[in-house]
Amino acid sequence: MQKTISKYKAKIAGTGSYLPNKKVSNHDLVELLAQKNIETSDEWIFSRSGIKFRHYAEYENTSEMAYISAKKALEKANIEPNQIDLIIVATSTSDYIFPSTACVVQQKLGITNNCAAFDLQAVCAGFIYAFSTAAQFIENGMYKNVLVIGSETFSRLLNFEDRTTCVLFGDGAGAVVLTRNEDENCSSQIKSSILRANGHEIEMLYAKSHVQNGNIIGQPFVHMDGKAVFKMAIACLEQAASEALKLANLDAKALDWLIPHQANIRIMQGTAKKVGLPLEKMIATVQEHGNTSAASIPLALDTAVCDGRIKKGDNILMEGVGAGFGWGAVVIEY
C-alpha cells in the first residue's frame, strides 16, 4: 500500500467529552445482579476487565451526549458552529432509525449553513473510521472544518442476566474538531490511517435485531464470545499499529502515546506489549467509564489533553477494534 499525497494537512483543533451523571460502581452491579441470583464480585469484574466504574444515561440520549461533547470541542478549537462543514457521528445506538444522529446534533448546535452530516456505524472501531474519513475530506480540499463525534448509550443494549457482557459497557461521548492546518510553521497533522474489516467473524460480537411492522425482531442485546474477541482484538490491533507506523515512517520508539479503544485493560496492555511500548505511554481511562464503544477513544484523548499529558508535537497512535469484525489505526502529530 502506498501513502497518498494530500493537498492539505488535517490537525486536531479541539477536543471535548461527556459522561452521564449516573456513575455505577462494580459494587452497585454486584447488588443488582444478586437480585437476579447471579453471582459476581468487584474483584471478578476488575481482574478481568480493569473496570471500576461505568456511567449510565438516564435522561440523556445519544444526540444529547454528542451535542455536549461537541460544544466543548468547538469552544476549545475557538470555532463557531456555523464554521463546521461536516459532522460525522460514530454510533451504534442512534436516537432514531432515521434521521441520523448527526443531523440531530446539527440542529442542537444551531448550525444553519446546511453543512453535511451523517452517521457512521462501525461499533467500537467507529471513531477511528470516522476520524479517518474526516481527515480525507480535509486533505483532499473538500472541507475545512469537520466535527467528529463518538457517542453511545450501550447500557440500553445490555442483558443484566449475562454477567459476561453487562459489567463491561457504559455510556458517554467524545468529540474532536479536525481542521485544515494552514500554518506552515505548525507540524500538526494526520500522518497515516489504516482501516480493515473481516465480515466472516460476525458471530464473535453482535446485537442481532431489527424493526419489522412496529415490532423488534430478534434479541436487541449484546452477545459476545469473550475469548475469541480477546484473541482477535490483540492480533488485529498489532497488525493495524504496524501498518500505520510504517505508512507514517515511524517506529514505536518515536511514539509519545498510545490511545487504544478502552475495552478491556488486558487487551490494552497486550496491545502495548505487541507494539513495543511501555505501559506508562498508554492512555488508560477504562477503569472510570468501561467500554463506551465508539466514544472510548475520544474520551481518553480528551482526558489526556485536559490533564496536560498530551502536548503539541506529540506523536500519538490511536487504534480501535470491534464487531464486524472491524479495526483500524491512525498516527497523528498533535
Would you name the residues annotated as active-site residues?
A: 124, 261, 291
Query: Taking Cα atoms as reference points, which of 170, 173, 174 lies closest to residue 28?
Result: 170
Query: Taking Cα atoms as reference points, which of 153, 155, 152, 133 lies closest to residue 143?
Result: 133
How far out from the chain centre does Cα 215 lie? 30
How far is it, in rounded angstroms, from Cα 83 to Cα 211? Answer: 37
Handedness of CA 326, 199, 101, 82 (dihedral sign): positive
Handedness of CA 158, 159, 161, 162 (dihedral sign): negative
Largest pairwise CA distance in the chain: 63
Assess contact for 303 and 283: CB atoms under 8 A.
yes
Query: Taking Cα atoms as reference points, which of 76, 60, 114, 70 lies closest to residue 90?
Result: 70
Tell me the β-bridge partners of 258: 282, 317
Tell me the β-bridge partners of 212: 215
State phi, psi for 28 to the nearest 5 degrees: -60, -40
State phi, psi for 79 to the nearest 5 degrees: -120, 130
How far is it, in rounded angstroms, from Cα 221 to Cα 223? Answer: 6
Q: Are strands 223-224 and 215-218 parallel, antiparallel or unpaired?
A: unpaired
Helical segments of the chain, H only: 26-34, 42-49, 62-77, 101-108, 126-139, 163-166, 226-247, 265-275, 286-289, 296-306
Scan for cell 449510565, then name that residue.
56
Q: Are strands 209-212 and 257-260 parallel, antiparallel or unpaired?
A: unpaired
Which grid coordinates belong to 66?
454528542
